[in-house]
Structure 1
């Protein structure tokens, strides 16, 4: 979903934000109308400039609407009524996803272990033990 290679930038264009979430720019403009929390700064000639906080809001909207399948009114109400709890829940889900990915990587590493690897480890352990 989110590509965070550009951590040090202050502002992102609408096209950059759209690429981060793999959505159309028109969807981001639509969400601006639907969610009062999403208000990117508009520079000269009305060019949108998304700050990190705006991207976090887009990430939360994306999670509620695209990943959890909530309706726009439902997501809007959830963000209005209890944005902090919604944000905490979202952060927990994101952490669990990253832990899951880590565990999958560990499992793949363990699955690649061969019988010969186990025998070599046993031999090394036997050499290290006194006696």
Structure 2
């Protein structure tokens, strides 16, 4: 899944939820379930997600929503083989970008 967020230092939970097409409550739930998600909180207690948090959310989303892992299965996969998940997800993102470019070219013909 390609996430369309501007380059920023921090993202609010609403921006993140919209980019992933999910409710903010799911993002908060995943934050409690997955140790790799550690958004900062401002003085008001609002969550501020870093680009690293976004990458981790993408991996969680990929495992849970796209590959059909249970939360426990996703936790185990991220703990036991995190590099494999990162590499697989990166390859998928690159292939999706190539597909988008090819479709643009096709539409121009």
TM-score by length of 2: 0.91
Rg bigger for which structure? 1
Displacement of 1:55: 0.8
Note the 1:86-125 alignment, pairs <5 A.
86-110=85-109
- CA distance in 1 between counterparts of 2:19 and 2:104 reads 24
- CA distance in 2 between counterparts of 1:100 and 1:52 reads 24
Question: How many residue pairs are counted as aligned between the two chains?
Answer: 108
Give the SS at the match of 1:49: strand
Structure 2: state its 5+ residue gaps. none
Give the SS at the match of 1:37: coil
Alignment of 1:33 with 2:44, yes or no, is no
1:120 is aligned to: none
Deviations 1:99-121 (A, max 9, x none): 122222223333xxxxxxxxxxx
1:66 is aligned to: 65
Displacement of 1:71: 1.1
2:4 is aligned to: 3
Give the SS at the match of 1:39: coil
- CA distance in 2 between counterparts of 1:83 and 1:61 reads 11
TM-score by length of 1: 0.77
2:77 is aligned to: 78
Higher RCO, 1 vs 2 (CA within 8 Å, ≥6 residues apart): 2
Note the 1:11-50 alignment, pairs <5 A.
11-50=10-49
1:123 is aligned to: none
Structure 1: state its 5+ residue gaps. 111-131
Displacement of 1:35: 0.6
